[in-house]
Structures are given as C-alpha cells and as structure tokens.
Structure 1
Amino acid sequence: MSSPESVKLTSSEMASLWSEYIGHTHNSCVLQYFIAKAEDIEVIDVSKKTFQIVENLKENTKQILQSENVPIPIGFGSQDVDVNAPRLFSDSFFLKYIKNLSRVMVVSCGLMYTLSTRKDIREHFKNSLSKATTVFDDVSDVLLDKGLYTRPPFIEPPKKSDFVEDKDYLNGINLFGNQRYLNAVEISHLYGNIEANVIGKALAKGFGQTADYKEVREFMQKSADLSDKIINEHTQFLTGSDLSAPMPTETQVFSSSHPPFSDKLMMYQITILSAAGLSDYATSLATSQRNDLKRHYLDLIVDTAKLAKKAESLMVENKWKEQPPQQDKIKY
C-alpha cells in the first residue's frame, strides 16, 4: 500500500500550499513591524506569539513544497519591511489587525483543508486552522481585557420560534406596512463587514500617505473611499433598526510619511482584503432576507471587484504579482 507522500499533489493542494506560503511571508513582515513599534507589553507579547506561529507554519509549508519539487514562491522578505520606520499605527490597531488576520486565516485554512485529499496535507491544514484559532483566542482575550473588543449589538430573543408568513418580510416590510427591523443573521453580517472595513480604511489611509508610487497612493485613496462608503451605508442599515455600529477610530493612523512597507507588500495586502471582502459580501447576500440588503450587497460586489481588478493590473504593471503554478501546454 502506497504512503500518502507517494501520491502527487493535486492542483488544489498545490495552489493552497503556494498561496499559504506567500501569505505567511507577508504576515511575517507585518508582524515584525508590529513587534518593533508596539509600546504596550501585552500587545508586544501577542504580536510575538503570532509571529512565531506564522514562522513555524511558513517553514512547514516550505518543507512540503520542497519535498514535492514545487518552486518556492518569492513572497516577501526583509526588503519589504523597514522596522526602523516611524510608528504609523496605534497599539489598538495592531490588536484589531491581528484579530482580523486570524479571522481570515481561519476561513482560508478551513477552505484549504476541505480542498485537500492527501492525509498529510489535510493534517497540515488542520494544524494551520488550529493555530489560527489560537491566535484569535489570544488576541480576543487581550482586546476584552483592555476594553477594546467591539461586541455586536444585543437584541432581545423572540418569544417563540416561528415561520415567515408573508412575502412582505423579504421586502423588508412588517405587518403594519413599516420597514421591518433587521433579523439577527442580517445584523451579524453587517456588523462583521463594518469591522473588516474599519481595518481596511485605516490600512489604506496609512499606505496612501507612505507609498512611493503616485499610482499606489491614488489607488489607496480609492480603496479608503470605498471602505468609508461601506462603513457609512452599513451603519445606516443598523441605525435604521435602532442598533449601534462599531465606530472607526481615526487616531489609529499617525501622520508619518516614511514607508514601513514596500509598495508591493501594501498592494498585496489590499488584494487579500478585497478577496476576503468579496467572499464576505457574497455570503451576506446569500443569507440576508431583506431585498434592499440583497441589492446593496450586489452593488458592493461589483464595486469591490472593480477595485480588485485595478489592484491586480497595477501589480502586474510593476511586476509585483507572482504567477501561480499552472499546467504547461502539452506539445504534440
């Protein structure tokens, strides 16, 4: 009976490992900067723990790629981060960034796990998923201890379980002809999307004021504008149901114009956030029941896809985008 390692990687497994490795090199650079610039000891501690986890996972991924004779991606390294650059983000932002990073890792590792066939590769992504949840737990505990954790709104539970009895429910109208309040599922997605875009807006703002290339600075402004639009529109949905929304903290970004990261790394970061956003909005669209919300998410998907396409083009123009493994054309 053959061992798992004697069976070649599937295209899905290769793609997952390749993407994971690049992601780890990026996260490593960002966390090095956090460790160098954080002032609070608990923030430094959680940043160091996360960095060590990322480094270990990166090395594990690299070993598998090497054993399968898959070229190691270039990814990111010391040339893409300047730990001596002035402080650009606050400690509270570092914590919220790490929380969002762990959330993205949980989603991506879960998907990579389900796309894997070989037992050893499944075990690899199962371990990655476990480590991602560890990071999420650690940073969540710190945020809670410091009173920085923004909780989703509380609502009163219904008196009993029931079924939707009228199509007006989907139109967002209640029995008396008024707009019905958001249900718990709709609230959770709106709130989560606001949180993600608060992080995205702060990053785009900081990147925009430190980028070398004019085109990158202009792109970051468009990215920040879109995040701001999403935050405002989502907030209006929540407040329309007498619910509170997480508030952006403008002081999360300082005034430094000295770049801590390369333009290549910053553009990659935005493409990852855009991809996560597209996935989030598609899920929100599928699970929301008010038709006005569905139209809203359809518009967001179009706007985010346009921004992501611009980012990809800009990266290709500057030779910052690595080509994933692909099938060579068969010659007859």
Structure 2
Amino acid sequence: MSSPENVKLTSSEMGSLWDAYINHTHNICVLEFFKAKAEDDEVSKVLDHTYKIAIELKEKCKQKLQSENIPVPTGFSQQDVDVSAPRLFPDSFALMYIKNMSRVMVAACGLMYTMSTRKDIRELYHHCLLQATNVFDEVSDVLLEKGVYTRPPFIEPPKRADFIEDKDYLNGKNLFGDQRYLNSIEISHLFANIEANVIGNSISKAYGQTADMQEVREFMMNAGQLSEKIINKLTEYLTGSHLPAPMPSETQVYSSSHPPFSDRLMMYELSVLTAAGISDYASSLATSMRNDLKTLYMDLFTDTTKLGGKAEKLMIENHWLEQPPQQDKILY
C-alpha cells in the first residue's frame, strides 16, 4: 500500500492548502492588532489562544505546500499590520470578530475536509475543524459570561408535530389567508445574516476611515451601504413576525484615521466576508420556505456578488490579488 506522500495532491487539496495559508496569514495580522490593543484579561486570553492556533495552522499548511514543491503564496506579514495604530474597536468587538471568524473557519475547514482524498490532508483539516470549534466554544463562553452574547429570538414551541396542509404556506400565508409568521429555520437564517452584516458594517466603516487610497475608501463606503441595506431588509422580516433583531452596541467604531492594516489586507478581508455572505445567502435561499424570502435572498446574492466582483477588479488593478494554482496550457 502506498503512503500518502507517494500520491500527488489533487487539485482540490492543492487549492485548499493554498487558500488556507493566505487566510491564516491574514488572521495572524488582525489578531496581532487586537492583541496589542486588548485591555480585558479574558479577551487577551482568547486572543492569545486564537493567535497561537492561527500560527500553528499556517505552518502546517506551509509545510505541506513545500513538501509538494508548490510555491508558497505571499500572503500577509508584518508589513501589512501596524500594532502601534490607535484602537478602532472596543474589546467586546474583538470577541464578536473572533466568533464570526471561527464560524467561517468551521464552514471552510468542513468543506476542505470533505473535498480532500489523502489521509494526511484529511487529518490536517480535521485538526483545523477541531481547533475552529474550540475557538468558537471559548469565545462564546466568554461572550455569555460578559453578558454581551446576542442570542437568536425565542419562540413558543409547537403543541404537536404537524404537516403543512396548504401550498399557501410557501407564499407566506396561513390557512386563514393572513401573513404567516416565520418558522424557526427561517428565523435562524435571518438572524445569522443580520449578525454577520452588523459585523461587516463595522469593519467597512473602520476600514473606510483608515484606508490610504481613495478607491479603497469608496469601496468600503459602498460595502457599508450594502450591509446597512441588507440589515434593514432582513430586520423588517423579523419585526414583521414580532421578533427582535440583533443590534449589539459592541460594534461601535472609534474615530481613528490611522491605518492599522495595509489597503491590500483590508480589501482581502472584505473579499472574504463577501464570499462568506454569498455562501450564507445561498444556504438561506435553499432552506427558507416563504417565496418572498427566496426572492429576497436571490437579490442579496446578486448584489453581494456584484460587490465581490468590484473587489476583485480593484485588487487586480493594484496587483494585490494572488493567482491560485491552475492547470498550465496543454500544447498539442
């Protein structure tokens, strides 16, 4: 039986290692800044633990790439972060940021794990998945202890198991023709998408006021406007069912205009958040039953895809977007 190292990496494994390495280098830079500004001991502990995990995972990806003679991407480094810059967010936002970051990592590592064939690569992503869930648990516990965890809405449980009796249910109507309330699955997706956009909106504002290039500032302004539009639209659905929407106060942005990160890093981060949003809206579209919600998610998917396209063009124009491994032209 051949060892894993005797079998070439598949395109999926090569691409996922390449992408993961860049993402870990980005996370390291952001965590370095948050670590330098943290004042709360519990927040510092979470940041230190998450930072060590990001370093470990970056090195594991780098070793795998090097062992396969695959060029290691440039990624991000000390030149992309200025830890001496004034703080942009309160400590509580750092916790919310890590919670969202670990949520995205759980989804990414889970996908990379199922797309991998070689045992050693599957083991790597299994380890990555465990680390991401550990971070999510840790930061969630601290948020709960501090009383700043934003919970999804509570609803009364049904009195019995039941079946849908009328196709009007899909049109958002109940048996009597009135607007039906959202079901628990629809609520969960609305809440999660609002929460992600609240965080993205704060990041867009902070980066918009600290970016060096005018083009980047304008992009961040557009990203912030889109996130506000999405928050307002999704909130209307929750309040229409007499449910509260997440509006945490910990997302305030301080007034500093001194850039903590390079424009390249900030644009990369927004492109990652945009990609995560596209994935979230696709999942929400697939699991929501009300047709008006499906239409809404299709619109959000389109708007967010357009924003992602603008980010890619801006990054290419400034030579900031690294090219993933790809098949060479075959000459006949």
Could you tell me how far 1:178 is from its partner in structure 2?
1.1
CA distance, structure 2, for counterparts of residue 162 and residue 250 of structure 1: 40
Aligned to 1:35: 35
CA distance, structure 2, for counterparts of residue 2 and residue 102 of structure 1: 35
Aligned to 2:15: 15
CA distance, structure 2, for counterparts of residue 252 and residue 22 of structure 1: 28
Please tell me whether the aligned partners of residues 34 and 94 of structure 2 are also in contact (alpha carbons under 8 angstroms).
Answer: yes
CA distance, structure 2, for counterparts of residue 330 and residue 22 of structure 1: 28
Show CA shifts across 1:15-56 (max 9, x none).
000000000000000000000001111111100100000100
Question: RMSD across aligned C-alpha pairs, in angstroms?
Answer: 0.8
Aligned to 2:201: 201
Please tell me whether the aligned partners of residues 93 and 251 of structure 2 are also in contact (alpha carbons under 8 angstroms).
Answer: no
Aligned to 2:263: 263
CA distance, structure 2, for counterparts of residue 36 and residue 252 of structure 1: 19
Q: 1:145/1:250 Cα in 2 relative to 1: closer, same or farther (>3 Å)?
A: closer
Aligned to 1:171: 171
Please tell me whether the aligned partners of residues 53 and 131 of structure 1 are also in contact (alpha carbons under 8 angstroms).
Answer: yes
CA distance, structure 2, for counterparts of residue 219 and residue 56 of structure 1: 33
Aligned to 1:284: 284
Please tell me whether the aligned partners of residues 29 and 76 of structure 2 are also in contact (alpha carbons under 8 angstroms).
Answer: yes
CA distance, structure 1, for counterparts of residue 317 and residue 268 of structure 2: 14
Show CA shifts across 1:171-220 (max 9, x none).
00112211000000000000000110011000000000000000000000
Aligned to 2:294: 294
| 1:1-332 mapped onto 2 (5 Å cutoff) | 1-249=1-249, 252-332=252-332
How many pairs does the alignment contain? 332
Gaps of 5+ in 2: none
Show CA shifts across 1:132-173 (max 9, x none).
001001100100000010000111111111111101100001
Q: 1:216/1:57 Cα in 2 relative to 1: closer, same or farther (>3 Å)?
A: same
CA distance, structure 2, for counterparts of residue 131 and residue 314 of structure 1: 33
Gaps of 5+ in 1: none
User: SS in structure 2 opposite 1:209?
Assistant: helix
Identical-residue share of aligned pairs (%)? 70
Question: Structure 1 runs of 4+ off > 3 angstroms?
Answer: none
Could you tell me how far 1:232 is from its partner in structure 2?
0.9
CA distance, structure 2, for counterparts of residue 209 and residue 276 of structure 1: 23
So what's the TM-score if we normalise by structure 1? 0.99
Please tell me whether the aligned partners of residues 171 and 290 of structure 1 are also in contact (alpha carbons under 8 angstroms).
Answer: yes
Could you tell me how far 1:252 is from its partner in structure 2?
2.1
So what's the TM-score if we normalise by structure 2? 0.99
CA distance, structure 2, for counterparts of residue 285 and residue 87 of structure 1: 37
Please tell me whether the aligned partners of residues 92 and 252 of structure 1 are also in contact (alpha carbons under 8 angstroms).
Answer: no
Please tell me whether the aligned partners of residues 173 and 179 of structure 1 are also in contact (alpha carbons under 8 angstroms).
Answer: yes
User: SS in structure 2 opposite 1:217?
Assistant: helix
Show CA shifts across 1:212-254 (max 9, x none).
0000000000000111111111111001001011014376210
CA distance, structure 1, for counterparts of residue 120 and residue 149 of structure 2: 37
